[in-house]
Chain A
């Protein structure tokens, strides 16, 4: 069952994300939020119009997964949702070094020196290496704990130069 969120339902999720990562008001662009089965919020092109299928057609999915529904004040972006947010975010973004990227990939916590830690607020942050998203992490007490998914953790076929 596809449930497009009403404007106020959508704000409940989009506003805290927008504040946290400093996106412009129109960061959702041509997208709308929806719920589809699981405890996730999806994002799909707002012009998508579903026909009323009269036959036995099954809808497998729609749009992309953006965040997980839970009780925290700022919803947790999914790994794939983080890549979209990164394209629009202006704060709480961490540019990783190659060594940190390796630690993030294996979900090993690492600490940041003062000057880099000062630019981040406690809570969720987005990470990237030369623009390539590494998903989100929690930042607390100058330590970064990455949520890099296990399904991708073997991704690094070659050493980086």
Chain B
């Protein structure tokens, strides 16, 4: 048994691995890491025991952990479907709430659900469905119609209703009579163009803790941890928020963005107001959430490698990697043969890095806002849609493909804005950091019980990534 100060154990039940981080709470630093396979689809305890044995070897004996907290993205993550009224309004607000809660969005619907929509939703078999529509006191017809269609369908998952509050009682009754689980949350758009997604996010998290952890079989290992607190992407976001805001005693890094390149998706989080920084710029569209997460389902380094190459252009990837188009195709085929493959030959390392840069560039371009010029009778007006991230203070990279890249700074720099393209509001001159030991999720979980130690952990875990001149990768 290892002596010393208090320790915390942070567990991530991932889709491929069960990852453990043992954290020294006094030092606010990583003590050791352990890893095992992900065995959620069979018996979660097997993978967790293997990971604990690995941790034990690294630590030379396991301490009595003061906290044992977990997040999960296993068994497909928290699969959600959202339903709203107008696509750009409540349907978009619902999408943002689900993504912000760390969900994996598998479908989004708007207006009245058709029979085909309902069948599609049942086929998608989400873990949770978020139903919105109407401002408070506004349209209630459509949300009630959709509630009735869903209640009479074979859909069995819990439904969270976060729409027009005047319809809430009826929605409750509709699902209640059908004997289906329903939770009422605050409206995602209580007034026109007013976004309020935190109540829906809290409700999603509650359903995740109360039901999904059980439904996915994670609670079979309940004796080995205290609680599964949230989906892993929500833990990463909580870590990002902590890093940005700091604690009562220590200032954070300020507004920041996080890029998380995974095997199946590339996620971007921003903790920033995103208001226009330019003079006289007019904001257009739904207000942006201060904590925003976007998920690019077509930009995964393994499951969607071909998609990255096609989006960027195979020739450009080949040129950026300094290889032939044939070599790119060869590497793609090998990835498709084994999605857990790691590049070894120098040209494969180079292609992987070029793909990672492309994924980061495209993902940040989609996450960040943009400006366009609207020509009016009085001359041009600059209109901004989305968040202005040009002035964020920090950009943090996480995820295996970035952390293990030969030149992580170059990969991360692909997210930066480009002075020749003023229409895209990507970060211009942030400090670059790499979350080397994958600690952001751990810090996010730990923040729930020990914020000061969690902040120290996050700060200790990020490494400044290169000087300014190293930053701009090619391609």
Bound together: no
Interface residue ranges, B against A (CB under 8 Å): none
